[in-house]
Amino acid sequence: MLTKEQIFAARDLQTEDVDVPEWGGAVRVSVMSGKTREALMEVLQEPQATSRFQALMLASTIVGEDGAPIFCEGDIEKLRDKSPDVLVRLVDVAMRLNKLGAKSVDDAEKNSEAAQSGSSGSDSHAS
């Protein structure tokens, strides 16, 4: 059985390296921790400009090799000044990894239905 120390030491947040030629290298996008995701969702309860949402998402998900975030709250405005094409590309990866957005929710529901019913997921939920 795992010990508490082993559980806390486990690196269980999936990451994906994404090449960003416009920036001259790659960045590592990570699944957010539960605490980080809650903090982001609280901030996003208020209406946000698209570029602010993108910057918040990237500040919450871009990490260094050690898995720690590389951006802080003070970097959000600077991130908003970056290329919209790059921001969209990276946010797409971050949302996919974190299973956020309508498509991810739909896919998760279909997979869950298929696993529960043993079918293709086309059956309706039983109440």
Is residue 107 predicted with pLDDT exceeding 70? no
As a whole number, mean pLDDT of residues 63-86 equals 94
CA atoms of 124 and 117, how far apart (whole Å): 10
pLDDT at 3 over 70: yes
Q: How many CA atoms lie within 13 A of 121 on its CB side?
A: 10
Domain architecture of the chain: domains with CATH:
12-101 (3.30.2220.20)
Q: Please determine, for residue 68, whether its predicted confidence score (pLDDT) is greater than 50.
A: yes
Q: Confirm if 59 and 75 have CB atoms less than 8 A apart.
A: yes
DSSP state of 99: T
Q: 4-20 pLDDT, tens per residue? A: 999 988 888 999 999 99
Letter string b/e over residues 91-100, b meaning 16 or more CB atoms within 10 A of that residue's CB = bebbbebbeb
pLDDT attached to residue 97: 94
Q: What percent of the chain has pLDDT above 70?
A: 80
Find out whether 97 and 30 touch, Cβ atoms under 8 Å. Answer: yes
